[in-house]
Structure 1
Amino acid sequence: MKFLVALAVIAAIWWLGQRRKQAVLTSAEARDLLGVSTRAGEEEIRAAHRRLIGRVHPDAGGSDALARRVNAARDILVAELNQNRR
């Protein structure tokens, strides 16, 4: 029984690690994914995100993985903007 619990914990840790690796994007990849320029402000980034997420969201026939990447791209670019404002 202890072996099965340990195996389940190891599997869960591995699975979470894999999910984090998939969502990592560079700023350039995030900009390419959302289709925004290096000069894009927060409003433009959020508008591009809304347009794209509407097409790739699982409820619209898209995939969870792609929706996660689009959300990660928005988060990366907005965080980068906020960091540059300081």
Structure 2
Amino acid sequence: MSEKILVALAIMAAIWWLGQRRKTTLLSISEARELLGVSARASEDEVRSAHRRLIGRVHPDAGGSQALASRVNAARDLLVAELNRKSA
């Protein structure tokens, strides 16, 4: 009986985990640029620098929120990936 309960709990945990992963914020390139305050011509260094400045203010450890920090991180990741795609 306890094995069935453990399996059920494991399945519930997996479903919860997958649901959490899907909560990532989807941004467009223009939204990501606006959020980080960089131009369309920004280099990777400029994107990373803007990210560092902003994440320092919105990180949960600095009194910000997890949701906003995730959005700022997603913006950085999107813009860096776009720059890498263009240079490849």
Short-chain TM bin: 0.7 to 0.9
> Residue 41 of structure 2 aligns with which residue?
39
Which of 30, 36, 52 lines up with 1:28 in the alignment? 30
> Residue 85 of structure 1 aligns with which residue?
87
The RMSD of aligned alpha carbons is: 1.9
For each residue in 1:27-67, what CA deviation from the matched residue of structure 2 results, as whole angstroms up to 9, or x when unmatched?
11111110111110001100100000000001000111111
Residue type of the alignment partner of 1:51: R
Q: TM-score, normalised by structure 2?
A: 0.80
When the two structures are aligned, how many residues end up with a matched partner? 86
Distance across 1 between alignment mates of 2:39 and 2:16: 35
> Residue 62 of structure 1 aligns with which residue?
64
1:26 CA displacement:
1.2
Distance across 2 between alignment mates of 1:10 and 1:81: 39
Range that drifts further, 10-19 or 76-85: 10-19
Which of 73, 76, 80 lines up with 1:74 in the alignment? 76
5+ long unaligned stretches in structure 1: none
Structure showing greater radius of gyration is: 2
Q: TM-score, normalised by structure 1?
A: 0.81
